Homo-oligomer: A and B are copies of this chain.
Amino acid sequence: MKDHNDMPGHLARRFQQIAVAVFLAEVEDAGFDLTPVQYAALATIKANPGLDQVTLAGLIAYDRTTITGVIDRLVQKGLAERRPSSRDRRARELEITDEGRRTLRKITPAVESAQRIMLRGLSAKESEELMRLLRKAIAAGNELSRAPLRDAQV
């Protein structure tokens, strides 16, 4: 391991750093103020209306303690709602608001543009291969983080 360029951990950090910067820049250019994490949460709430926070966390592999703050900010921005569940008084049901739906719709081009930009050094084939390898490595390491990906239990 001569230098950090041979270390997958360093490369992971670096790629993520660039991915976040590109995402924020594209989204801001489009006139919005939403972080990658907030975007993923909002999109997942929209796709799974009424889900609780733990389920949301599992679907996008966040730690449950991180989710609290993320949702606080989505609620504060008027993009999502958090209300007590009727079935389980411990849980909160999450819903997207009309404003959240509007934001998601308008922000999508910027998000997709960001995904292209962060791969701009790679050909289409290389991009596919990178994503395939990342998915494979992630699948094998899923249980190694405190916040593994979980299927929605229906």
Contacts and interface: CB of A to CB of B under 8 A. Distances in A.
Contacts of A11: 131, 134-135, 138
A19 B8 contact: yes
Given A121-B141, A122-B136, A134-B15, A9 B20 contact: yes
15 contacts: A7-B111, A8-B19, A8-B115, A9-B115, A11-B138, A12-B134, A14-B61, A14-B149, A16-B16, A17-B61, A18-B145, A121-B140, A121-B141, A130-B130, A133-B133
A90 interface: no
A11 B61 CA distance: 11
Contacts of A91: none
A133 B122 contact: yes
SS of A interface (majority): helix
A146 interface: yes
Interface string A100-127: 0000000000011011011111100011
A4 B139 CA distance: 14
A99 interface: no
Contacts of A22: 9, 141, 144
